[in-house]
């Protein structure tokens, strides 16, 4: 792992894997499958309006690809899979937000 000019820890050159679901159950199932399938690290999850949940993992490209495939399959079995994606080497400009803690927001009930 490298260090930036400010001394903050970076995750550069590690792949980023994303699985997005509608609902928390599918997201938890995806995260569990991803972490059990490959040598990846669960780095965050985001909950937004309309019960959309995105789970993010980091690791070597091949590990992340395998994890995302298994996570997407697991999420689809128990809920609604919306998207899956792997970025092999995220640009340095997005590393700060990826390294930050995940956000959990309770959706508003109208």
Domain ranges of the chain: 15-93
Instruction: Kindly give, in sequence order, each residue whose CB lies less than 8 Å from that of residue 97, ignoring residues fewer than 6 positions away.
Output: none
Query: pLDDT digit string (tens) for 18-30?
Result: 999 999 999 999 9
What is the fold of 15-93?
Alpha-Beta Plaits (3.30.70)
The pLDDT score that the predictor gives to residue 103 is 54
Give this prediction's pTM: 0.79
Query: pLDDT digit string (tens) for 82-110?
Result: 999 999 999 888 877 765 555 555 444 44
Query: pLDDT digit string (tens) for 4-51?
Result: 444 334 445 799 999 999 999 999 999 999 999 999 999 988 898 889
Give backbone dihedrals phi and psi of 62, rounded to 5 degrees, phi first.
-60, -40
Closest residue by Cα to residue 2 from 103, 99, 110: 99
């Amino acid at each position: 792992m490298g260090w930036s000019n400010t001394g903050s820890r970076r995750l550069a050159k590690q792949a980023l894997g994303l699985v997005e679901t509608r609902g928390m159950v599918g997201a938890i199932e995806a995260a569990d499958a991803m972490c059990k399938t490959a040598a990846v690290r669960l780095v965050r999850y985001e909950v937004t309006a309309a019960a959309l949940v995105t789970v993010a993992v980091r690791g070597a490209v091949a590990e992340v690809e395998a994890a995302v495939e298994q996570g997407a399959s697991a999420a689809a079995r128990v809920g609604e899979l919306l998207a899956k994606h792997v970025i092999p080497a995220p640009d340095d400009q997005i590393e700060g937000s990826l390294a930050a803690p995940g956000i959990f927001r309770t959706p508003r009930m109208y």
